[in-house]
Amino acid sequence: METRLKLTIAYDGSRFQGSQRQAGRETVQGRLEAALSELAGRPVSAILAGRTDRGVHAAGQVASCESIRPELPIEQLRRALDPWLGEGLAITRIEQAPVAFHARYDAAWREYRYRLWSGARSPLMGATSWHRRGTLDVIRMADAAGRLVGTHDFASFVGGGEGVPWSARQEATKGTIRTVHVCSAREVGAWWPAIEGAGRGIEVRVVADGFLPRMVRGFVGALSEIGRCANEPEWIDELLKRADRRSGPPTAPSHGLVLWRIGYGDEQPW
């Protein structure tokens, strides 16, 4: 029976100019396709489940492609591809999937996580989190995060010029409306043991049926403002009602964001 490959990949976003193929630029898709093509001995195209901006990391990005080297067991195929992937990109799992499998269109939901660091400046923490001076109130942030759950028009949080009323995005079938299944903020402590006690780590988790450009980073920008008491949690309700990027929050930087995992079929994010 003919099949395709489902690849789970992880990458350090600081090494790439984004996930999608771009002529003359180092991208995740470009590097992955080059590795697949080298091993297959012919050009191979790969489809990514989610698009990430420059600097955004991934722990559970998913790609689909045609089957290559069917004579190799799956784990041996993964190991054979590894030398061609280079620094900053790895395939953590390979599975066989039905021939009709499409990494992007078959995805039921996607999960992103964003980390902030509130405390003494640390190069280690700063590489994968947004350093915020002063104290962030996690309880206020959690209250505000819960207000983002549900089906809403998220235009106020959308970047790339797509969150304004005259954007071409508004002509699309769903426009800037998406359904957020989970949005939470919690303290996670330091993820480098030697830094424990020098501050506090905060993780924002968002699961949705789809995402718009810089949407999660817009969420985090708003939650950060609320955490430092520049606005009340009810500000989220106002932003949702306005649905206009011109009144929206600052956008959090890309390096604190991770595409965590992608769900298919009956997989549940909770």
Q: Which two tokens stand for residue 174?
A: 């769903």
Determine the structural domain holding residue 44 and report its residue range. Answer: 3-98
Contact call for residues 219 and 142 (beta carbons, < 8 A) = no
What are the pLDDT tens digits along the chain (270 aa)?
Answer: 578 999 999 999 999 999 999 988 999 999 999 999 999 999 999 999 999 999 999 999 999 999 999 999 999 999 999 999 999 999 999 999 999 999 999 999 999 999 999 887 877 777 889 999 888 999 999 999 999 999 999 999 999 999 998 999 988 889 999 999 999 999 987 666 656 667 788 999 999 999 999 999 999 999 999 999 999 999 999 999 999 999 999 999 999 999 999 999 888 887
Q: Are residues 252 and 158 in the same domain?
A: yes
Q: Please give the pLDDT value at position 220.
A: 98
Domain containing residue 45: CATH number = 3.30.70.580
Q: What is the dihedral of CA 78, 91, 21, 51, to 10 degrees?
A: 140
Residue for token digits 């396709």?
33
Measured distance between the N- and C-terminal CA atoms of the chain, rounded to whole angstroms:
34
Domain of 145: which CATH number?
3.30.70.660
**Which residue type is seen at 258?**
V
| Same domain assignment for residues 126 and 248 | yes
Same domain, 75 and 142: no
| pTM of this structure | 0.94
Judge if 244 and 128 occupy the same domain.
yes
Give the end of a domain, one of 76, 98, 120.
98
83 and 137 both lie in a single domain: no
Residue 270 lies in a domain: no
Q: What is the pLDDT of residue 192?
A: 62
Q: Are residues 79 and 132 in the same domain?
A: no
Q: Is residue 246 part of a domain?
A: yes
Show the tokens assigned to 154: 């998220």
C-alpha–C-alpha distance, residues 124 and 31, integer Å: 26
The kind and range of the H/E element at 66 are: strand 57-66
Told to judge if 12 belongs to the known catalytic residues of this protein, a careful annotator would answer no
Residues 115 and 244 in one domain: yes
pLDDT at 190: 65
pLDDT at 44: 97
Pair of tokens at residue 36: 């697949």
Report yes or no on 269 lying in a domain. no
Residue type, 199: G
- Beta strand spans in 120-198 (E): 130-132, 150-153, 177-187
Note the pLDDT of residue 81: 97
- Compute CA distances 202 → 90, 110, 141, whole Å: 26, 20, 10
Which of 53, 137, 209, 237 is catalytic? The answer is 53
Are 199 and 217 in the same domain? Answer: yes
Give the chain's domain count. 2
Is the domain of 25 the same as that of 85? yes
Q: Which residues fall within 8 angstroms of residue 110, CB to CB, at 6 or more apart?
A: 49, 50, 207, 208, 210, 211, 259, 261, 262, 263
